[in-house]
């Protein structure tokens, strides 16, 4: 039985609650538990549901308020800009479209400088420091007979130089946070700004994913909350359900046009996570994409077919003749 199962033994539904995510995040800070490891009960329920007909899975998606379609905008290999530093554009696209893997970023990689960057409340008293050191004893697996001595000594040392202690603690929290792997989707296909900002001024592509075809991914995505004020987290308190959201799922109102959904895995930044071969349902070509981009996607479909994989539908984004609107047409 996994630790996740022990943490939520009475869990009767698949989509993790915020409380469940909080338990996982708390476990990360206390012992390096990997959020990607699902409990035995989770896996059993997911596997049972995955065997049901598509309508049943779609109804489950709707009931849990998960978008039926989610999207990822990507630059074309044949655009004008230089390729991203981590991978070439073709490698990035083929990792998704052929190898069925998502590359997880760190919050430190994002274009929003405030992403995964809550403010820290650092006001403390003797009781808070003692509680913090007691948690530290748990993390470092201090023997029961030594805990009181450990807590007393470390509390005293912290109070001698609280500035250094606070800096050490906040740096540790930042390291944990930036080590979390994040993949960003959107529920919005036809947003003009999304095509402009993330698909190289409409020269790139947008990949459509069907959530009912990968319930493991679908049940672990959460919507971003857009707010006018930065979240604040007390560094001396245990993580609460709200703090998990404040760390990973809150952004400025300036970004609300993105309608973002976020997938997170602990200790997985800059790593790959696999998904179902049926998860991809369509690829939409930007309104200003080149003919080389169209040919490239057709070649990928040929490769998929030669490997016994289902072909994905290819569609074309076009500018409306009469409105400020992006229209999508089959090819």
| Per-residue pLDDT at 13 exceeds 90 | no
pLDDT, residue 241, reads 56
Mean pLDDT of the chain: 83
- Stretch 102-122: mean pLDDT: 92
| Phi, then psi, of 208 in degrees rounded to 5 | -100, 130
pLDDT, residue 18, reads 46
pLDDT band at 279 (very low <50, low <70, confident <90, very high): very high
Q: For the segment 174-228, what is each residue's pLDDT rounded down to a tens digit?
A: 888 888 899 999 999 999 999 999 999 999 999 999 999 999 899 889 899 999 9
How far the first Cα of the chain sits from its last, in Å, is: 49
Q: What is the CB neighbour count within 10 angstroms for residue 218?
A: 27
pLDDT band at 6 (very low <50, low <70, confident <90, very high): very low
- Stretch 247-255: mean pLDDT: 94
Q: For the segment 115-162, what is each residue's pLDDT rounded down to a tens digit?
A: 999 888 888 888 888 887 777 777 667 888 888 888 888 888 888 888
- Stretch 49-61: mean pLDDT: 90
Query: Which range among 18-27, 50-59, 83-92 shows the weakest confidence by mean pLDDT?
Result: 18-27
Pick from 267, 52, 282, 293: nearest CA to 181 = 267
Pick from 123, 294, 276: nearest CA to 211 = 276
| Per-residue pLDDT at 238 exceeds 70 | no
Q: For the segment 285-301, what is each residue's pLDDT rounded down to a tens digit?
A: 999 999 999 999 999 99
- 102/117 Cα distance (integer angstroms): 23
């Amino acid at each position: 039985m996994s630790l996740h199962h022990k943490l939520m033994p009475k869990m009767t539904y698949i989509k993790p609650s915020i409380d469940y995510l909080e338990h996982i995040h708390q476990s990360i800070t206390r012992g390096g538990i990997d959020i990607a490891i699902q409990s035995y009960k989770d896996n059993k329920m997911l596997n049972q549901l995955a065997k049901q007909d598509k309508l049943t899975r779609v109804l489950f998606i709707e009931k849990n308020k998960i978008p039926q379609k989610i999207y990822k905008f990507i630059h074309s290999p044949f655009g004008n800009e230089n390729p991203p530093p981590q991978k070439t554009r073709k490698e990035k696209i083929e990792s998704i479209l052929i190898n069925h893997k998502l590359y997880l970023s760190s919050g430190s990689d994002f274009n929003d400088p405030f992403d995964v960057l809550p403010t820290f409340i650092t006001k403390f008293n003797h009781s808070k420091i003692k509680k913090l050191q007691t948690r530290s004893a748990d993390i470092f697996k201090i023997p029961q007979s030594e805990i009181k001595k450990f807590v007393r000594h470390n509390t005293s040392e912290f109070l001698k130089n609280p500035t250094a202690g606070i800096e050490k603690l906040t740096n540790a929290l930042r390291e944990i946070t930036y080590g979390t792997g994040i993949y960003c989707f959107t529920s919005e296909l036809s947003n003009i700004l999304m095509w402009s900002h993330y698909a190289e001024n409409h020269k790139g592509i947008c990949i459509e994913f069907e959530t009912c075809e990968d319930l493991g991914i679908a049940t672990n995505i959460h919507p971003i909350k857009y707010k006018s004020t930065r979240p604040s987290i007390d560094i001396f308190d245990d993580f609460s359900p709200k703090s998990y959201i404040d760390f990973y799922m809150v952004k400025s109102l300036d970004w609300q046009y993105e309608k973002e959904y976020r997938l997170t895995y602990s200790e997985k930044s800059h790593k790959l996570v696999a998904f179902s071969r049926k998860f991809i349902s369509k690829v939409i070509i930007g309104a200003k994409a080149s003919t080389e981009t169209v040919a490239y996607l057709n070649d990928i479909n040929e490769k998929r077919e030669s490997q016994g994989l289902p072909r994905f539908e290819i569609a074309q984004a076009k500018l409306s003749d009469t409105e400020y609107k992006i229209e999508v047409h089959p090819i």
